Structure 1
């Protein structure tokens, strides 16, 4: 068995124009002082990384790693969650997602830009010595997730075929650079649970670079068994977001949330330790199955401050990481049976 690496922290929710969150060096010092060992970098945030330079220049990437190393940190992974979202957007969401791309672009231009961005992230990951990358799948059939009005036969299959067609050139590009593409299974994406992930995987011809970012918080909100999910899909796990959530249904509202804000919804994300996720069981299963990637804190909470969430997060992850044993607990009772004795025990002449 192998030991999970950590703690690491996803910087997307912390980056800000105010120090110490305004550039990579400052935020690295802040993270290191809290006890983090690595950072997951959102590639859309130019305060933290220049994706174009990272894709083109190994020297720039070495300098970026050097900046982190000065504070005892490394890069756990890069992320293109926002750009990946724009690889596939249903027209109903074009206006809401247009802020993910540079201003002045139309829908087609945003899509072309997003695909180019994700491809550049493959090159940047390789230049940084990384072999996994985080993203979203985007969504073409998400508006039809509930079967009312009744969906026309073949609609979902056609949608997943189109989604796969958009991602296959990107997946092939990642393959050329030796990087796995880890999709975060998430509400609002066509890949939002195990079944939809399998549909996408099949539609890509079981492309070897299709992997998963495991985040149990999204399954609390869906009421999906997040521990059994590990049993089903652990072989696909390339990343792990440590994020908490809770689900407290009422007589007025349940999984769908009644159009309420995050504070009022029965299902809501919480700072680690404040929700209902059994992280002790998760870390145990992940270690059992040999996951040796990073445990990355993702802070999203509608109650607790990000600063407190980050402080507590490093401590929690350190408590959950299991030093994987390299020996069997009953080795002391090994009788040292020889091959000849094995044959006698089995009744073999």
Structure 2
């Protein structure tokens, strides 16, 4: 067994226009001051991390890694959640997602997809130069508008949607394979890959690609009313990244898992700061340790109530308490005797 690495923190919710959140130096000092050992870096803030430069320059990557090392930090993964979303956009979501792309390709689905594909390939190259083994992203969504089908279920529509999704991702997966990096899809409502069934369907269409893997985030499974512990038993071989995020589901007579178009605070299911929700993290850390998870435990802070500064401070200690230092020997070794056949 291996000891899970951590705590790490996903920076995307904390990046802002004011110091210390507007520079990599500032964020690094802030994160280290809260006890974090790694940062997960989004790729859509060039003032924080220049993805295009990182894909081409080992010198730049060494400088970024060296700067973080001065604060006692490593990089857990890079993230292209927004860019991954643009690999596959159903026309119903064109307007909603268009601002994820630069102005030059907005309003042009083909150009936007080509831009996103290039960004994913740059992320593969940059990850390799940084010595990373996993990358975090979203799958995008072509079938999601039909998740609760009415008119009735049309299997041909889903075959076409998932076939096209696989066609778009296959060359990207091959690129990640060339660079020796696992591509980890965060299974998330709103994405075509949002649970085990959809992941399996996609995996089969990319011929069980070795780089097609999972970013495990139990909060999204709780809000779908899934068994997030059994999920680890089923898919542990494909879990290569881990977001530590809490959530709660409070049964309601007024709304359910769909949320009723309400703000997060009023939904039956909502995200909470670590320790404030319902997720069994003792069970999760035990199972991931049992299955030799080699990655980082990374806080993704999202909460409808608590201040982010407080959530980040509490999250570091919460993760540290839940990491299980693996024993080098069995507890009953003292009673072992020699065998003489």
TM-score when normalising by structure 2: 0.98
The CA RMSD measured in Å over matched residues stands at 0.8
Bigger Cα Rg? 1
Residue correspondence of structure 1 range 295-310 to structure 2 within 5 A:
295-310=297-312
**Per-residue CA distance 1:185-205 (angstroms, 9 max, x = gap):** 000000000010000000101
Shift of 1:70: 1.1
Q: Residue 329 of structure 1: SS of its match in structure 2?
A: coil
**Are residues 1:119 and 2:135 paired?**
no
**Per-residue CA distance 1:291-333 (angstroms, 9 max, x = gap):** 1210000001111111111000001000000001221122122
Q: Residue 222 of structure 1: SS of its match in structure 2?
A: coil
Q: Residue 207 of structure 2: SS of its match in structure 1?
A: coil
Return the match for 2:174 from 148, 172, 175.
172
**CA contact under 8 A between 1:86 and 1:110: conserved in structure 2?**
yes
Gaps of 5+ in 1: 341-349
Query: Which of 76-85 and 101-110 deviates more?
Result: 101-110
**Per-residue CA distance 1:6-52 (angstroms, 9 max, x = gap):** 00000000000101101000110000000000100001112210000
Runs of 4 or more above 4 Å deviation: none
Gaps of 5+ in 2: none
Correspondence for 1:319: 321
**Per-residue CA distance 1:259-314 (angstroms, 9 max, x = gap):** 11111111111111111111111101110111121000000111111111100000
**Per-residue CA distance 1:131-155 (angstroms, 9 max, x = gap):** 1111000011011111321122322
Q: Residue 315 of structure 1: SS of its match in structure 2?
A: helix
Q: What CA distance in whole angstroms lies between the structure 2 residues aligned with 1:103 and 1:52?
A: 17
Residue correspondence of structure 1 range 1-349 to structure 2 within 5 A:
1-105=1-105, 106-338=108-340, 340=341
Q: What CA distance in whole angstroms lies between the structure 1 residues aligned with 2:306 and 2:103?
A: 32
Q: Residue 239 of structure 1: SS of its match in structure 2?
A: strand
Q: What CA distance in whole angstroms lies between the structure 2 residues aligned with 1:331 and 1:70?
A: 41
Q: What CA distance in whole angstroms lies between the structure 1 residues aligned with 2:257 and 2:97?
A: 23
TM-score when normalising by structure 1: 0.96
Shift of 1:108: 1.7
Q: What CA distance in whole angstroms lies between the structure 2 residues aligned with 1:327 and 1:158?
A: 52
Q: What CA distance in whole angstroms lies between the structure 2 residues aligned with 1:322 and 1:223?
A: 27
